[in-house]
Each structure stands twice: as structure tokens, then as C-alpha cells.
């Protein structure tokens, strides 16, 4: 849980940096490719190349391709179609996808996780509903695909690490995550990248380095490791904690005008969803029959 909270704060600052200094100024595909390359270079020297099951390697690469590659390419593109409030609003459905994918992989239905995700989605929606533009459908659908791939990546990684326990530390195999993302980001840049929109200042290069090494490299690892340590309901709720965190950063650092009352109400609802999830899970465990032979 501590890791998820820490990364939420880290990504809240990252979101602001993208909006302030990169969006519309640096090519989207180049920005994503740079982040992926730097993160891959960070983990490559410590990656174990042998004695890791092929299904685990392939699975981690698939998670990286989805959670980092596809998600971020779509997210960056959405800024050219949607306003920032719309982008934030349309990402609030991620918790629902987290719970649904987790239930599908477990072949079960978890009411507590779904209820918590719905509450968190409601809270984030209250914070970020700021009216919708007329031509928002394309952006909405684009972000729903991004939400699904982001959810699938983190839930998939959680299940993979449970199915293939390793004696080596998890960071020795996480490089495959970024290698998988590279298989998506590199072709996308070669096909769609605009070489006339490369970083034009040391500040933009510095932000890309920080985003690649810290926010992407360490942030993705910490987030996925944190996701392995909590239940699906908590992981789903934490996916929406970025909304109030990002708005607080905009309000305190960049001086953006944000509606304080919706921020307080929505943030409180998101926080309460964590409590609801914990209570419902405790009640569910208590209601389970005890095996008399056990």
C-alpha cells in the first residue's frame, strides 16, 4: 500500500510536467519511446537472462506492451483531442476494468472489489466533471482502450508473479516489462513520429530523462510490486487516487484554478472506498463456511 501511495504522488507530478512542458511541444511517439528506452536501459544491466521460465518472460513482456506501450501512446494522443479535464474524467473507469479483469482471471465475481471500484469511480467523476466538448467520442473510446490495457497489464503482472514464484528478486526480471513496451513504442515512432517536434530545450530533455528513469522506470516497478501486495479492490481504488493528487499538484504548484468543493467531496469518497473494500472483504471472509475436517 505504501508503494502505491508513493507512486501516486510521483505520477501526480509527472502528469503536470507532461501537460505544462511536453504536450503539444514534443512529439508524442518520441516522448513515449524515450521513456521506454531509458527505463529499459535502467533495468537491462540487472536483468537475469537465463533460468526464467519462457511463459513468465513472455507474460511480463506482454504486460509491459499493454500497460506501458499501448496505454501511454494512447494517453499522449488523447491530449490533442480532449481537454485536460476530459482526459482526467475519462480515466476514472480504470478501477472497474481492474476488478473485472481480475475476476475473469480468477473465474469468480468479487462484489466487494467491484463496489469499491464503483465508489472510487464516482468520487473521481465528481472531482473531474467539468463539462464535455462536442467531439469527445473518439477521445473517450481512445482512453477506454488505454484504461483497459493499463488495467490488464497490472492485473496480469500480479497473477504472473503469483503463478511463477522466483527465488531471485522481482527487479531482476522486470526488465522484460520494458522490453515488451519497446516492441510497441519503437514501431509506433518509426511509423508515426514527427521529427520536427523533438525536444528543443534542456528543460524538455531533462523532464524526459526524469520521466523515463524515475516516473517510468522506478515508478512502474514500484507500482506493480505494490499491486502484488494488495487485493484487487485496493489496487482498483488506488488507480483513481491520481485524480485528486494531480489536481492538488496543479493547485499548489502551478496555481491552476480548481474547484475546491468537488475536490474535497470526491477525494473523501475515494478515500472511503478503501474503507468500504476492507469492511466488505472482512465480512466476506467471516461468512465463508469453515471446513469441519480442517
Rounded Cα distance between 161 and 128, Å, is 34
232-266 in b/e form (b: 16+ CB < 10 A) is bbbbbbbbbbbbbbbbebbeeeeeeebbeebbeeb
CA 81 vs CA 134, 146, 187: distances in Å: 11, 14, 22
Please give the model's pTM, rounded to 2 decimal places.
Answer: 0.83
Rounded Cα distance between 192 and 239, Å, is 29
Rounded Cα distance between 161 and 173, Å, is 10
pLDDT of residue 250: 67
| Choice among 90-99, 138-147, 206-215 with the minimum mean pLDDT | 90-99
pLDDT of residue 287: 61
Q: Give the mean model confidence (pLDDT) for residues 261-281.
A: 75
Q: Give the mean model confidence (pLDDT) for residues 241-258.
A: 69
First to last CA, the chain: 31
pLDDT of residue 275: 76
Nearest Cα neighbor of 223 from 182, 174, 261 is 174
251 contacts: CB under 8 Å, gap ≥ 6: 258, 263
**In terms of pLDDT, which residue wins out, 146 or 247?**
146
Nearest Cα neighbor of 256 from 12, 63, 10, 55 is 12
| Choice among 34-48, 91-105, 131-145 with the minimum mean pLDDT | 131-145
Looking up cell 465463508 gives 288
Instruction: Say if residue 259's pLDDT is above 80.
Output: no
Mean pLDDT for the chain? 84
Q: Give the mean model confidence (pLDDT) for residues 241-267.
A: 70
Instruction: Say if residue 191's pLDDT is above 90.
Output: yes
**In terms of pLDDT, which residue wins out, 123 or 183?**
183
Rounded Cα distance between 176 and 153, Å, is 13
pLDDT of residue 130: 61
Rounded Cα distance between 294 and 287, Å, is 17
pLDDT of residue 292: 47
Q: Give the mean model confidence (pLDDT) for residues 26-48.
A: 96
Say how many CA atoms lie within 13 Å of 42 toward its Cβ: 23
Rounded Cα distance between 266 and 243, Å, is 9
Amino acid at each position: 500500500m505504501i508503494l502505491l501511495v508513493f507512486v501516486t504522488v510521483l505520477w501526480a507530478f509527472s502528469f503536470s510536467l507532461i501537460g505544462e512542458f511536453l504536450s503539444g511541444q514534443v512529439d508524442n511517439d518520441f516522448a513515449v519511446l524515450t521513456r521506454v528506452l531509458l527505463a529499459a536501459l535502467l533495468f537491462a544491466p540487472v536483468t537475469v537472462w537465463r533460468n526464467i521460465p519462457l511463459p513468465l518472460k513472455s507474460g511480463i513482456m506482454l504486460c509491459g506492451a499493454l500497460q506501458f506501450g499501448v496505454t501511454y501512446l494512447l494517453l499522449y494522443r488523447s491530449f490533442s483531442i480532449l481537454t485536460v479535464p476530459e482526459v482526467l474524467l475519462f480515466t476514472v473507469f480504470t478501477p472497474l476494468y481492474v476488478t473485472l479483469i481480475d475476476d475473469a482471471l480468477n473465474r469468480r465475481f468479487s462484489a466487494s472489489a467491484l463496489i469499491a471500484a464503483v465508489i472510487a469511480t464516482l468520487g473521481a467523476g465528481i472531482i473531474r466533471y467539468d463539462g464535455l466538448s462536442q467531439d469527445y467520442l473518439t477521445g473517450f473510446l481512445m482512453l477506454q482502450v488505454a484504461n483497459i490495457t493499463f488495467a490488464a497489464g497490472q492485473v496480469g503482472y500480479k497473477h504472473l508473479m503469483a503463478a511463477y514464484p522466483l527465488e531471485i528478486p522481482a527487479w531482476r526480471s522486470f526488465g522484460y516489462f520494458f522490453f515488451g513496451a519497446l516492441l510497441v513504442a519503437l514501431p509506433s515512432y518509426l511509423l508515426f513520429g514527427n521529427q520536427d517536434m523533438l525536444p528543443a530545450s534542456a528543460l524538455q530533455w531533462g523532464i524526459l530523462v526524469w520521466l523515463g528513469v524515475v516516473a517510468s522506470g522506478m515508478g512502474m516497478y514500484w507500482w506493480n510490486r505494490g499491486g502484488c501486495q494488495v487485493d484487487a479492490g485496493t489496487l482498483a481504488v488506488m488507480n483513481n487516487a491520481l485524480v485528486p493528487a494531480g489536481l492538488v499538484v496543479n493547485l499548489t504548484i502551478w496555481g491552476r484554478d480548481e474547484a475546491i468543493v468537488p475536490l474535497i467531496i470526491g477525494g473523501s469518497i475515494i478515500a472511503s472506498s478503501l474503507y468500504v473494500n476492507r469492511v466488505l472483504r472482512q465480512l466476506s471472509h467471516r461468512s465463508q463456511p469453515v471446513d469441519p475436517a480442517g
